Amino acid sequence: MNSEALAYIPQRAPFFLIDDVIYAEGNITRTTFAIKEDNLFLVDGHFTEPGLIENMAQTAGAGTGYRAIKENKPKPMGYIAALKNVCIFSLPALGDTITTEVVFIQALLNFHLVKGKVMVGDKEIANCEFKIFVTPDAQ
């Protein structure tokens, strides 16, 4: 785990679902996460749907936190307000490393619209759209 990634989001073990922020520029953030045996979301050798959704949300938060730190601003706190068009094509297995990409589409007041997708290698295994509520005092 990249200890630097811990600085970008408020989650901690066992709910920390990103290992490394590999890209955070403009409106795009990418992270990686290795599925390990001790993971809370591992059931019957597969990382579950709630884990994939939380991983996408944490990727969005990591990008926002990264940019805030870069600009010497306080890290915002965000909460999933809505999910739309959730598609889970397959579940990653124990030992897989997922790469997650989140694209910020737009912000309106305290809501951010983002699209996320999760890959294992070259195969897309999940995607969805989020509305994320960002606390007003941290914008």
pLDDT of residue 1: 43
Residues 6+ apart with CB under 8 A from 1: 16, 19, 20
For the chain, the average pLDDT equals 90
Q: State the DSSP H helix or E strand holding residue 66, giving kind and residue range, or none if neither.
A: helix 49-70
pLDDT tens figures, 16-49: 899 999 999 999 999 999 999 999 999 999 999 9
pTM (2 d.p.) = 0.91
Is pLDDT above 80 for 10? no
Q: Rounded to whole angstroms, how far apart are CA atoms 57 and 115? A: 10
Q: Rounded to whole angstroms, how far apart are CA atoms 31 and 33? A: 7
Per DSSP, the three-state class of 68 is helix
pLDDT tens figures, 49-61: 999 999 999 999 9
Residues 6+ apart with CB under 8 A from 67: 24
The token pair at 90 is 């397959």
- Domain 3-138: CATH superfamily, name plus number: Hotdog Thioesterase (3.10.129.10)
